[in-house]
Structure 1
Amino acid sequence: MPLRSLSLQLYSVRHALDEDVARTVERVAAIGYTQVEASYKLMSAGPETLDAIRANGLTAPTMTSPLFDVDLDDVFAKATELGASAVIESYLPEQYWTSLDDIAKTADRLNAAAAKAADHGLRVGYHNHWWEIDQSFEEGLTALESLEARLDPRIVFELDAYWVAVGGQDVPSYVAKLADRVAFLHLKDGPVNRDNIEQKPAGQGTLPFPRIIAAAPKLEAGAVEFDEYDGDIFDGIAQAFAYLNPQVER
C-alpha cells in the first residue's frame, strides 16, 4: 500500500525555527511538503507557527505533546486550532519503562488522556524510541507490546521505524504485529545505531521502506524526521522528500 500522505516533523528544523519561524516554514513548503507535524511547545510560543502554516497552505494531521502533568484542555484546544486529528505523546523517557507496573501506570494515564481527547473529537497516540522496544517484561513481548495490550482501543501508534530497528526488531514484521494501531510512521534512515548525528534521509540507509509502509494498512501519514543531521538540514529533508513523495498515493 502506498503512503496516503507525507508530513515533516518540525522538530527536524527546530534550530531554524528558533531563528525565523515564518521563513523556515516557507522553506519547508517550497521543498514540496504540504503537511507538517507541529508541537504543543511551538503552538504555545505564540501565533507565529500557526500563522506560517496557514500562510503556506499547509495542514497538520498530528500534533506532538506531553500528555502527563500538563493542561490537557489547553493541549487539545491547540490541537483543534491546528486542525490535527491526533495528539501524540512523543517522549516518555526510560524511567517510565523499568517494570511491568510502570507500563500499567503509563497505560492508565494514556487511557485517561484518550477519554478526554475524545470529548474534543481527537485521538491520542504514542511515539516510541528504542527503549520501549529492546526491553521485555513479559515473555515474547517487547515493552511496547505490553503497553499496547493495556491501551484503550482508540489509542493509535506513531511508530518510529528507525528506533524499532535500533531496538533489535525486524521493522516490517514488527509494524505488521501492531498494524491495527499504526496510524502514523516516523521515517528516517541510517546505520541503525543510537548516534543521532549519523541519521540519514529515508532511502539512504538500511531500512526497507516499501515493505515497512506496506505492513501498515491503516497508515494515515508518514512523517520525515531527524533527531540530528550532519549537514544542511534543509538538504536532508529535501532528499527524504524526493525519495518518499513518489510513494504517496495520487
Structure 2
Amino acid sequence: MSRPLSVQLYSVRDQLTADPEGTLRRLADLGYGAVEPYDVLADPEGLRKTLDELGLSVSGAHVVQLLGREPGAALDAVAVLGCDLAIVPAGIPPEDFTTYEGLARTADRLNALVGAADQRGLRVGYHNHWWEIEPRFEDRDGPHALEVLAGLLDPAVCLEVDTYWAAVGGADVPALLRRLGGRVRALHLKDGPGTKKDPNVAVGGGTMPVPEILAAAPDAWRVVEFDSCAGGPDALFDELAASHAYVTSLEAA
C-alpha cells in the first residue's frame, strides 16, 4: 500500500476544537500523512491551507450534509480539500437496512448524488456501522444488508468499510471485504473488545484480525479511527502513535 496512513479527525474532535493547527501538527509528527475530515463546511479553505503547510493530504471526507436538500455546497467543500471521495457517514435510519424496500430507498438516495459529485470530479461513498451488517437476508447465513445494498448501488458509489463495526455486527470481516471487492475504497481501522459501547484501543491491541483485513483489501485507503478512548488526551495520542506503528509495520512486512 503506497498511500500514507490516514486518521479520521473525529478521533481528535475535542482537541481540534481547542487547538486546530496544533492538533493537526501533532498528528503529522506522529507520522500520519493524511487525514479524513468530518466537518467540511466549517472552513475548507483554511483547513486546506493548514494541511498543505503540514504536508498532510486528505484521503476522503465524511459529509453527512450530502443527504440534505442541497448537497452542492458540501460537495464543493470536499473539492476544495483536494480529495476525490465524499463519504456519507450517517443519516439513514437503521431500520432501512432491515428490509429490501428500505435498502432500495437507501440506494436511491445515494445514487441520486452521483451526477453532482461527478461534475466536481468526486466519488460518493458510504460508511457503515454495525446496523448495516447485523441484518442478514434470505437466511441467517445469507448476505449482510451492506452486501445487498452494494448490489443496488450505482457502480460509481463506493464503500468505506468500518472494519470494527462490521465485526461487531457479526461479519467475518476479511471474507466480507473479499466479497465486496473493488467496491471498497477505504477502510476504517479501529480495535477493541468487539462490543458496541466499550472504548477503542490501539489498532493491533484488541480482537481485530488486522493483518487479514489489510490483505483482503490491499488497494483501499487505511484510515485509523477512535470513536472513544479510555484515559485523557495524552492516552489518545499514545494510542494513535501505537496504531500508526503497528499498521505501518504490517504494510512494510
Q: Same fold (TM over 0.5)?
A: yes
User: In structure 1, how many angstroms separate the alpha carbons of the residues matched to 2:17 and 2:153?
Assistant: 36
Q: 5+ unaligned residues in a row in structure 1: which ranges?
A: none
Question: What corresponds to 2:112 in structure 1?
Answer: 112
User: In structure 2, how many angstroms separate the alpha carbons of the residues matched to 1:132 and 1:201?
Assistant: 24
Q: CA deviation at 1:61?
A: 2.0
- Equivalent residues of 1:88, 1:124 under 8 A apart: yes
Question: What corresponds to 1:100 in structure 2?
Answer: 100
Superposition pairs of residues 21-40 of structure 1, within 5 angstroms:
21-39=20-38
User: In structure 1, how many angstroms separate the alpha carbons of the residues matched to 2:122 and 2:145?
Assistant: 26
**TM-score of the superposed pair, with normalisation by structure 1:** 0.92
Deviation per CA, 1:182-221: give whole Å up to 9, x if none.
1100001111010142x111110111111111111432x1
Question: What corresponds to 1:204 in structure 2?
Answer: 205
Count of matched residue positions in the alignment of Structure 1 and Structure 2? 245
User: In structure 2, how many angstroms separate the alpha carbons of the residues matched to 1:28 and 1:93?
Assistant: 33
Whether 2:41 is the aligned partner of 1:44: answer yes
**TM-score of the superposed pair, with normalisation by structure 2:** 0.91
Q: CA deviation at 1:249?
A: 5.7
Superposition pairs of residues 3-22 of structure 1, within 5 angstroms:
4-22=3-21
Is the deviation greater in 4-13 or in 64-73?
A: 64-73
Q: 3-state SS of the aligned residue for 1:131?
A: helix
In angstroms, what is the RMSD of aligned CA positions? 1.7
| 2:106 partner letter | T
Q: Compared with structure 1, are the counterparts of its residues 184 and 5 closer, same or farther at alpha carbon in structure 2 (3 Å cutoff)?
A: same
Question: What corresponds to 1:228 in structure 2?
Answer: 228
Superposition pairs of residues 44-83 of structure 1, within 5 angstroms:
44-46=41-43, 47-66=45-64, 67-83=66-82
- RCO greater where, 1 or 2, for CA within 8 Å and sep 6 or more? 1
User: In structure 2, how many angstroms separate the alpha carbons of the residues matched to 1:129 and 1:62?
Assistant: 17
Q: 5+ unaligned residues in a row in structure 2: which ranges?
A: none
User: In structure 2, how many angstroms separate the alpha carbons of the residues matched to 1:18 and 1:48?
Assistant: 14
Q: Percent identity?
A: 41
